[in-house]
């Protein structure tokens, strides 16, 4: 037991297995599979998770039946015998670090997670999910009975591979949850009707897995305590299911979660530890060991949950993607070195083509060879710009042994991230700046605030620095148009610059971004009492906002009375404003009291153009001036971090 967070780092008996601590890596798919078989990159990911110090890992959902397997082959095909050797490799690396490995088994049912399939979706009943385009095939009684055998087959494969157990995915509106739901399950056969009938499929799943595996093989069940949709299952239904599973006597633990597909990966707009109160009720009613997760981002929270008896095990998914070493750092009292998860769901949920992370460039790419050892001879590295790209470059270069000096013309670090963090519900964005600032201090980077490097300073700087990194960021696109009313940028709104003292009517226009900025401005103005009309020239709303965040965002805007218009271009003519349909139709004159225009950000590249020998985007022995991040081309935090990491590793 650690002196730091002793409850989280206490041991625990789960079934016939001993866990070294109460921290669990929750299931988070990587899409690092080739034709359903985990790749070496996937095994490496699990190696790093286990090495980071968790007591148990629950692998991301593996498919039990060909009828639920997307043709991309990016989900692990547990039903295939060929999966055994790769899963054995995964079990071996996890066990090497003293952790348990449990495989989550799933059938998606009517949910197709946006993928294409060669067969129709198999479902408990005929109702189509609003998240998919096609109605499912309703399994007959005989088909359901036959399908249960696939669960046993898949569990057997994981047993043969040396895993410690399996977890039934009975949550998030997937097939088992569809059978449990009185709203979705309208069957009149033995698998429908009252709760006893609706539980029969889950009972069959557990029976099949128990019959196919060894006696000490763990069997857990993941349940949704609150589906958070109209007519969805709530905590009372969950408690009934939990009591039933406890009475069986052969289920080892319950994993409690909230939400359904598209809303269960809680972004930063949700409170932390959202499912803990539900988990506490399930634990009290069932008497079974309970695992809880969802927006638990630090070990302090986990320690509190265990200490107060709310749950026995505490899980994290994205927090451990952002920093697999989170458990070890917390146990050793190095909490300030933890790289926190921002909860933005931008990269970890995009799967393009597999798992990445906005703040951890090594996820999906592996550790850069340049970080294998310190450099033989440290160089004088000057970094101009204290946004995420400059800070990450400085962090990695200093970690490798270079002497790093950073100049930031503002009075604080963070650049455009500081502004974005002023958006409603997005304050956690600044966490990455705080982490990188702490790392700069730890690694003895010489940070100079209020220190602008001008074009006239380049000669002097290059006379001292071996390498100059330009990370000067970006600024809002110009909004200097003829207008009888004030015209502001998103940055102006978030910073409170130039806003009229009295709220009135405002048009917030997103020309072609589809990302957070304009929508954040609209939400901020609505909260301040403005009558907001949000328009975009794009054919869809918030088209580039991460999938799990779009629904909550639009619901908040709708609840605030924001009017939302698509395929409209806002133009200024003779000082007045007009909405012009992109695809034809009549113009609409508008007369707001304020206009907020969101246009593409512009790279701050004056130093780039003035560099005597030009700039390079890739480090080399001869490159003296390098450029990185938004100053090359304005993009996202993840691009800035990834480029800063690579550049710092290659100097």
**Cα 552 vs. chain centroid, distance in angstroms?**
15
Residue 366 tokens, joined: 């592996």
Residue 250 tokens, joined: 């052969």
74 CB neighbour count, 10 Å cutoff: 19
Exposure class string for 77-103: b at 16+ Cβ within 10 A, else e: bbbbeebbebbebbbebbeebebbbbb
DSSP state of 283: H
Question: pLDDT per residue over 65-101, tens digit each?
Answer: 999 998 899 999 999 999 999 999 999 999 999 999 9
Residue 163: pLDDT above 90? yes
Question: pLDDT per residue over 385-394, tens digit each?
Answer: 999 999 999 9
pLDDT at residue number 47: 98
- What pTM was estimated for this model as a whole? 0.95
Domain 487-600: top CATH class: alpha beta
CATH code assigned to 374-474+603-650: 3.40.50.720
Question: pLDDT per residue over 314-347, tens digit each?
Answer: 999 999 999 999 999 999 999 999 999 999 999 9
pLDDT at residue number 482: 85
pLDDT at residue number 114: 74
Unique residue bearing structure tokens 């917030």: 508
Report the distance separating Cα 394 and Cα 511, nearest Å: 35
Question: pLDDT per residue over 344-398, tens digit each?
Answer: 999 999 888 999 999 999 999 999 999 999 999 999 999 999 999 999 999 999 9
pLDDT at residue number 2: 72
DSSP state of 335: G
Mean pLDDT (the chain, rounded): 95
104 CB neighbour count, 10 Å cutoff: 23
3.20.20.70, 3.40.605.10, 3.40.50.300, 3.30.420.40: which CATH number matches 12-337?
3.20.20.70
Residue 180 tokens, joined: 């449990």
- Confidence bin at 574 (pLDDT 50/70/90): confident
Question: pLDDT per residue over 175-212, tens digit each?
Answer: 999 999 999 999 999 999 999 999 999 999 999 999 99
Question: pLDDT per residue over 274-315, tens digit each?
Answer: 999 999 999 999 999 999 999 999 999 999 999 999 999 999
Domain ranges of the chain: 12-337, 374-474+603-650, 487-600
pLDDT at residue number 1: 61
414 CB neighbour count, 10 Å cutoff: 23
Domain 487-600 in the same topology as domain 374-474+603-650: no
Question: pLDDT per residue over 3-42, tens digit each?
Answer: 899 999 999 999 999 999 999 999 999 999 999 999 999 9
Q: How far apart are the first and last CA of the chain?
A: 41
Residue 106 tokens, joined: 């799933």
DSSP state of 363: T
Choose among 227, 242, 91: nearest CA to 164: 91
Share of the chain above pLDDT 70, in %: 100
Q: What is the mean pLDDT of residues 572-599?
A: 94
Choose among 648, 651, 650, 630: nearest CA to 443: 648
């Amino acid at each position: 037991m650690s002196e730091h967070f002793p409850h989280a780092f206490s041991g625990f008996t789960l079934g016939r297995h001993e866990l070294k601590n109460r921290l669990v890596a929750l299931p988070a798919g990587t899409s690092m599979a080739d034709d359903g078989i985990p790749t070496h990159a996937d095994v490496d990911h699990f190696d790093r998770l286990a090495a980071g110090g968790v007591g148990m890992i629950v692998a991301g959902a593996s498919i039990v039946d060909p009828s639920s397997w997307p043709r991309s082959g990016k989900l692990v095909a547990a039903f295939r015998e060929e999966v055994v050797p790769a899963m054995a490799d995964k079990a071996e690396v996890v066990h090497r670090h003293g952790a348990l490995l449990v495989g989550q088994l799933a059938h998606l049912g009517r949910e197709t997670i946006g993928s294409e399939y060669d067969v129709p979706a198999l479902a408990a009943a005929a109702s189509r999910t609003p998240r998919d385009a096609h109605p499912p095939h309703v399994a007959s009684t005989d088909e359901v009975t036959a399908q249960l055998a696939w669960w046993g087959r898949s569990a057997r494969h994981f047993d043969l591979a040396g895993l410690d157990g399996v977890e039934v995915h009975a949550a998030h509106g997937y097939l088992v949850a569809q059978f449990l739901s009185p709203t979705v399950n309208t069957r009149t056969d033995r698998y429908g009707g009252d709760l006893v009938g609706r539980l029969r499929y889950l009972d069959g799943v557990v029976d099949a897995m128990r019959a196919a595996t060894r006696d000490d093989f763990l069997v857990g069940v993941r349940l949704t305590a609150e589906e958070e949709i109209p007519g969805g299952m709530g905590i009372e239904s969950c408690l009934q299911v939990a009591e039933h599973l406890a009475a069986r006597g052969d289920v080892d633990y319950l994993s409690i979660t909230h939400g359904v597909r598209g809303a269960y990966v809680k972004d930063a707009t949700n409170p932390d530890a959202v499912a803990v109160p539900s988990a506490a009720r399930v634990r009290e009613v069932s008497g079974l060991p309970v695992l809880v997760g969802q927006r638990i981002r630090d070990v302090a929270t986990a320690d509190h949950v265990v200490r107060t008896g709310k749950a026995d095990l505490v899980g994290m998914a994205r927090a451990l993607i952002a920093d697999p070493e989170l458990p070890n750092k917390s146990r050793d009292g190095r909490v300030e070195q933890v790289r926190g998860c921002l909860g933005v769901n931008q990269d970890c949920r995009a799967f393009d083509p597999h798992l990445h992370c906005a703040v951890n460039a090594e996820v999906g790419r592996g550790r850069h060879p340049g970080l294998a050892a310190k450099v033989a001879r440290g160089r004088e590295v000057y970094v101009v710009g204290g946004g995420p790209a400059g800070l990450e470059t400085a962090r990695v270069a200093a970690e490798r042994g270079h002497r790093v000096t950073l100049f930031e013309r503002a009075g604080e670090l963070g650049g455009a991230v500081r502004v974005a963090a002023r958006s409603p519900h997005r304050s956690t964005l600044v966490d990455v700046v705080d982490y990188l600032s702490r790392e700069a201090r730890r690694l003895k980077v010489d940070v100079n605030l209020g220190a602008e490097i001008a074009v006239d300073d380049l000669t002097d700087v290059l006379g001292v620095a071996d390498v100059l990194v330009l990370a000067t960021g970006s600024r809002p696109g110009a909004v200097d148009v003829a207008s009888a009313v004030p015209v502001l940028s998103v940055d102006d709104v978030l910073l409170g610059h130039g806003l009229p003292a009295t709220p009135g009517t405002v048009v917030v226009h997103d020309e072609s971004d589809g990302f957070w900025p304009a929508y954040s401005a609209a939400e901020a103005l609505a909260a301040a009492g403005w009558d907001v009309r949000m328009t975009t020239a794009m054919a869809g709303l918030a088209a580039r906002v991460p999938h799990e965040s779009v629904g909550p965002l639009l619901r908040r805007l709708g609840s605030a009375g924001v009017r939302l218009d698509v395929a409209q271009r806002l133009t200024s003519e003779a000082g007045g404003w007009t909405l012009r349909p992109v695809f034809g139709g009549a113009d609409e004159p508008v007369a707001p009291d304020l206009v907020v225009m969101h246009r593409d950000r512009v790279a701050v590249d004056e130093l780039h153009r003035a560099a005597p020998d030009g700039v390079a985007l890739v480090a080399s022995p001869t490159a003296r001036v390098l450029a990185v991040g938004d100053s090359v081309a304005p993009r996202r935090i993840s691009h800035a971090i990834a480029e800063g990491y690579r550049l710092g590793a290659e100097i």
